[in-house]
Amino acid sequence: MFDLYFDLPLILRLVLQGTLVILVLFPLAAACSMAERKISAWIQGRPGPNRTIPPFAGFLAPLGLVARIPVLGPVLQNLGIFQLAADGGKFTFKEDPVPGHVNAFYFIMAPIASMIPALTTVAFVPFGAYFDAAGKLVPVALTNLDVGLLAVFALGSLGVYSLILAGWASNSKYPFLGGVRASAQLISYELSMTLSVLPVFLWVNAPGGPGTLSLFDVVQSQSQPGFFGGLWYVFLMPVSAFVFLVALFAETNRQPFDMPESEADLVGGFHTEYGAFKWSLFFVAEYAHMIVGSGIFCLLFLGGWNPLPWVTLADVVNFGAGFLPFIASPLVMGLLGITLFLLKVGFFIFFFMWVRWTLPRFRYDQVMTLGWKKLLPLSIANLVLYAILIAVKDLFFPNL
């Protein structure tokens, strides 16, 4: 199966990979939208979406048949699953006017531009691993770059340009203020985020060895024998993990850091003038950034696809292969790794939503104070501390 895929022409493989990204991320983002509504309802003691049911007629007829299956249909209806089809149809076919006072070209380009970083950063995120024919552990990823994290940061930071473009092209004061806030917030928290991951790569890159910024190598460094070799970095570097997670909330514009939207004082912020399909693209991009950001956090601090600290995916597969040999096959091992990784990502998606419906929104001055006066000094101090500790370890305890 794998040989057949790799024998395909490069252009065809790239087209298939790009199509797969779109076919996976769009439904996941839609599912996140529905999950957010159900989780907020659960937190607030409401049932949430539970009434939508597809009709028998039209292109939704197969869903309509599923909805009428005893037991299964009512369960799916109560979970709000059919609401996904209703939302998709509404956003696709709803009238999508362009206000007369906007700069039409850039106004239309902004939501399209928001999707580019959302759909490209996932290419550098490994989400599983398997043993090839030579017994070497190979990542399941669209591409495995030595500068993978740098590529994610570089492309992910471009997402703010779509918000700035939307605010400017709307020719309205509230969207413009939302765009300005987005740019200021990005600068404030991207510094802290970048500094928070430097201790991780100081630890991963041993003196004299080949340097790497590969996310796969970070997971491998948490899969080594010994106490520190199998310890997840969330326990070894808790301050780095905390700073990265807080900065991730700000980078994805999630409450309590949703200053670019802030409907309490900016109506809708940068997307005030948007509606229908163009509006939905902004939120598909937001949920895609949440998914990729959660994946990056899991790779850096939670062992990636390893099930537990000091227990690697390879350990589980080797143990299971003693009873069921097919578990060691590349396909089954890859699927097992992807499942473990997605479970961790799913937990953090839930955490994002839990925080949104629990904490009140910060004021803009509080967001700037937290970014510049709290997180940035903390991340610098954390970097200096770990640089000293790692230097002492390499000098006096090289085998630790």
Q: Directed axis angle between helix 238-251 and helix 173-204, to 10°? A: 160
Q: What average pLDDT score do residues 8-33 get?
A: 78
Range of the domain at 193: 101-396
* Residue bearing tokens 């910024």: 213
Asked whether residue 44 is domain-assigned, the answer is: no
Confidence of residue 5 (pLDDT cuts 50, 70, 90): low
Residue 9 lies in a domain: no
* Pairwise CA distance, residues 350 & 254, whole Å: 13
352 in Cβ contact with 297 (< 8 Å): no
pLDDT of 400: 67
Residue 268 lies in a domain: yes
Using pLDDT thresholds of 50, 70 and 90, give the confidence band for residue 122: confident
Which pLDDT score, from 0 to 100, does residue 341 have? 92
pTM to 2 decimal places? 0.89
Tell me, what's the pLDDT at 246?
92
Distance CA 374, CA 243 (A): 10
Note whether 118 and 224 are same-domain residues: yes
- Per-residue pLDDT at 84: 81
Q: Let me know whether 60 and 111 are in one domain.
A: no
Do 237 and 159 fall into the same domain? yes
140 in any annotated domain: yes
Q: How many domains does the chain have?
A: 2
Same domain for 76 and 182, yes or no, is no
> Is 176 among the domain residues?
yes
The reply to whether 345 falls in a domain is: yes
Residue 319 and residue 345 share a domain: yes
249 and 208 in a single domain? The answer is yes
Token readout for 65 is 């048949």
| 163 and 201 part of one domain | yes
- On whether both 84 and 204 belong to a single domain, the answer is no
Q: Among 40, 66, 93, where does a domain finish?
A: 93
What pLDDT, on a 0 to 100 scale, did the predictor assign at position 262?
75
Contact 106, 291 (CB under 8 A): no
Q: What confidence score (pLDDT) does residue 58 get?
A: 56
Q: What is the DSSP string of 91-150?
A: HHHS-----TTS-HHHHHHHHHHHHHHHHHGGGG----EEE-TTS-EEE-SS---TTHHH
Mean pLDDT is lowest, of 82-91, 369-378, 386-395, for: 82-91
Same domain, 61 and 194: no
Are 253 and 235 within one domain?
yes
In this structure, the answer to whether residues 72 and 110 fall within a common structural domain is no
Same domain, 117 and 68: no
pLDDT of residue 96: 79
| pLDDT per position as a tens digit, 269-289 | 778 888 788 888 888 888 888
| Residue 365 within a domain | yes
353-381 pLDDT tens trace? 999 888 888 888 888 888 888 999 999 99
Average pLDDT over residues 47-76: 75
pLDDT of 56 reads: 63
| Domain-embedded: residue 391 | yes
